[in-house]
Structure 1
Amino acid sequence: MSYLFCFVLSAVFAYSSAGLFRDVLYSDWITCNHDKFLNYGVSEVQIFFYDFQNNFNLSFPIEFAVEGITSSYNLDITRRLIFFNPGYKSHISKNTEELVRQTFSDVPNIYLIIVDHSMYTSAKGGKFASYERSVRHVYYIGTAIGNFLAGLQKQGFPSNNIHCIGHSLGSQMLGYAGTRFTELTNEKIWRITGLDPAGPCFSNGSVEDQIRSGVANYVEVYHCNAGGLGTTSVLGDIDFFFNKAGKKQPTCHSGIIPGKGESDAAKCSHKACVRYYTESVHLKTGYLAWACDSYDHYSKGSCSVNQVTIAGYNNPGNVTGTFYVSTDMFGV
């Protein structure tokens, strides 16, 4: 009987853990601290700069990156700067960063910068403690990014050539970065793209602590795991919900193991936003997106005559609102 009891108890725990990312991470079990008076230092954030056309790259601590780049290299101010800020548990050597490098390596007339803030956002101290620690650093890392970009602008690099792209926690940092940039320059970053901005500690918090319309000339937000690891909030000038109301992606399956399977599916959907966006860089047309007031209406075809725009890297940036996307026709 004791074996049966242990089996049942384990099964109950497994099924309860299946909602870990949905329930626990949005509960009081996680302490969400967005305090802006902790005076955290983030000097170990690293900036990695790439000029693929000239086979040139540099890296500097963020506090010295403006001087390091501009004193070592003659920036072409007619090029676009693609600035990628990854999320929780990221590192410059991980797959997401490599995907971004490979994607932009053959795009003409751009510079690429990738941020490594892993010293403050890695999985130290267990799942809950490390995420709480990472959230506490979001404001400080975002502000440091804003300082860096404003420094480039003061050295002559135009704000209308700066495109910031963030994933997950990195998207939320860009809200602070855009705000800080404007405070220092009285200008706005050309575009900020949020790829499935982090939901836990943000969806149920103040909009002032999130990426949002107004922190750049144009803010676009992509949703792929809304209500899980990504936010449910409509935040941008335009919000794109990909497949299944932006909650679950078709290639991401829960598997047969309760808890772990659903958690893995959430991570897969969360990362899918990066994959969709990077694939769109080389799509001639991008993803077609329809304006709609709900996924239910979209899935029933009720919005097929509504306004259409392009989601992805080639989004023209001339429309606003909530749009829905199906990737079926693109085979992704």
Structure 2
Amino acid sequence: MFPSVFRVYTFCLAITLLAIGCYSFSLGDVGKSFKDVVVGVGKDVANTIPTPEKMFESSKNLIIGYPFEVVSSSINTICSRALSSETIRPRITPDLHEMQFQLRTPCKKYNYSLLNADAMWKSSEFDPKKKVVILATGWRTTVNESDTTDVFAKAYNCRGDVNFVAVDAANFVDTLYTWSALNTDEIGRNIAIGLVELTKIVPVENIHLIGHSLGAHIMGAAGRNFFYQTGKLIPRITALDPAKPCFNEGQSLAGLMRGDAEFIDVIHSDPGALGKREPTGDIDFYPGGLGPLPKGCYDIGCAHARSWQYYAETVYPGNEMSYLGVRCSSLTQAEEGKCPGPKVPMGYAVPKDLKGNYFLDVNGEEPFGKQSDAALLESKKNCGICQN
């Protein structure tokens, strides 16, 4: 039996869903869902927590988007209490044999098991003289079916000075969200094993980990476990709108935390909804401010994806200074010139000696960076892809 406080939060969630009508069900369906939530919570708590897939769909019905923050916070509280009760276990336990690194060159994709990661690091396609960027994407994505991975591979291959690698953990983050969240720590531990092998060939200072959504927490766990195994810190982890639901410092799933790398930069594009609002890194950027919907987005799915779209824009040579933020407490104060500090670049070229919260305005359509060079980006449209 769950603690009474958990039932209270469940009841509040059901009331919230009824009040704001965020699900496009009939009244009868809503009534049945309310009953199922209250009565069934002790039997199958995992299934009473709305998944991000439902969140994405329901958000399309929200014109402004702000009411979703109430629902998201309720879900987060319920999930955290359910996890702390230790009644939820991952439905699928990560199997190291099935997880892969994928090396992306302009023309080919090379897959290697995490158990055989050293084979990739030693392969002819991998250049040990170059830096290494490793990307972990979010819930319900795979390296072969991910816009994020394709866009990042193109941008980094355009630079030409990086080995770009994606992590394929889809089998273990393609389940009910709560199970996926529970798997992030285990996946991170497995990635750390591959990183230990990598540092036998590439200096640790040449490694950069990037994660979007759940991937941000996976990379936090990878950096943390790499330190446990080696006593060394990965120099940089970039977190792109780290997932909010179920992840809270000091609770069962802490997720990404300061100290998981020497330097952590975070881009919040959907703060308070699917993404965490509170500062998570050494330097946190809030493009478009603290609201859950940046310019040009009318649902939280769009907003959640903006973080990786913003970052990828900055990877192209010559466009590194396309987003300039200022340390401030709000976007309004920044726009009114009440934050007199220097402007610093968000994304690829972020200074690694700064700390604090930085705000900046963005465009509602591509290029999203206020300082982006549209002509330059147009000239790079065929850069980083196979020319054969």
State whether residues 152 and 312 of structure 2, in contact with CA within 8 Å, keep that contact through their aligned partners in structure 1.
Answer: yes
Match of 1:148 among 171, 194, 214: 194
Specify the alignment match of 1:22 in structure 2.
72
Matched residue of 1:48: which SS?
strand
Match of 2:342 among 293, 307, 310: 307
Please show how residues 223-242 of structure 1 align to structure 2 within 5 Å.
223-242=268-287
Specify the alignment match of 1:216 in structure 2.
261
Specify the alignment match of 2:17 in structure 1.
none
Specify the alignment match of 2:113 in structure 1.
61
Please show how residues 1-332 of structure 1 align to structure 2 within 5 Å.
19=68, 22-28=72-78, 31-32=82-83, 40-43=93-96, 44-52=98-106, 55=107, 57-66=109-118, 68-73=119-124, 75-92=126-143, 93-122=145-174, 124=175, 130-153=176-199, 155-203=200-248, 206=251, 209-245=254-290, 247-253=292-298, 265-282=299-316, 283-303=319-339, 305-328=340-363, 329-330=370-371
Aligned partner letter, 2:242: P
CA RMSD in angstroms comes to 3.2
Q: List gaps (5 residues or longer) in structure 1.
A: 1-5, 125-129, 254-264
Distance, in Å, in 2 between the alignment partners of 1:62 and 1:33 is 30
- Alpha carbons of 1:56 and 1:185: their partners in 2 closer, same or farther (altered >3 Å)? farther
TM-score, L = length of structure 2: 0.70
Deviation at 1:57, TM superposition (A): 4.0
Deviation at 1:211, TM superposition (A): 1.5
Distance, in Å, in 1 between the alignment partners of 2:209 and 2:291 is 22
Q: List gaps (5 residues or longer) in structure 2.
A: 1-24, 34-57, 364-369, 375-388
- Alpha carbons of 1:28 and 1:208: their partners in 2 closer, same or farther (altered >3 Å)? closer
Deviation at 1:307, TM superposition (A): 3.1
Aligned partner letter, 2:190: A
TM-score, L = length of structure 1: 0.81
Q: Kindly provide the CA deviation profile for residues 185-226 of structure 1, in whole angstroms up to 9, marking residues without a partner as x.
A: 222112100000000011475497221222112110110111
Q: Kindly provide the CA deviation profile for residues 73-93 of structure 1, in whole angstroms up to 9, marking residues without a partner as x.
A: 375333110111101111112
Deviation at 1:275, TM superposition (A): 0.4
Distance, in Å, in 2 between the alignment partners of 1:238 and 1:244 is 15
Aligned residues: 305
Distance, in Å, in 2 between the alignment partners of 1:307 and 1:45 is 43
Q: Kindly provide the CA deviation profile for residues 38-93 of structure 1, in whole angstroms up to 9, marking residues without a partner as x.
A: 894432222101244xx554212212222x21443375333110111101111112
Distance, in Å, in 1 between the alignment partners of 2:85 and 2:26 is 40
Distance, in Å, in 2 between the alignment partners of 1:121 and 1:243 is 29
Deviation at 1:326, TM superposition (A): 1.1
Distance, in Å, in 2 between the alignment partners of 1:146 and 1:59 is 17
Aligned partner letter, 1:239: D
Aligned partner letter, 1:279: E
Distance, in Å, in 2 between the alignment partners of 1:117 and 1:199 is 20
Distance, in Å, in 2 between the alignment partners of 1:185 and 1:34 is 32
State whether residues 84 and 251 of structure 2, in contact with CA within 8 Å, keep that contact through their aligned partners in structure 1.
Answer: no
Distance, in Å, in 2 between the alignment partners of 1:286 and 1:187 is 32
Distance, in Å, in 1 between the alignment partners of 2:85 and 2:206 is 30
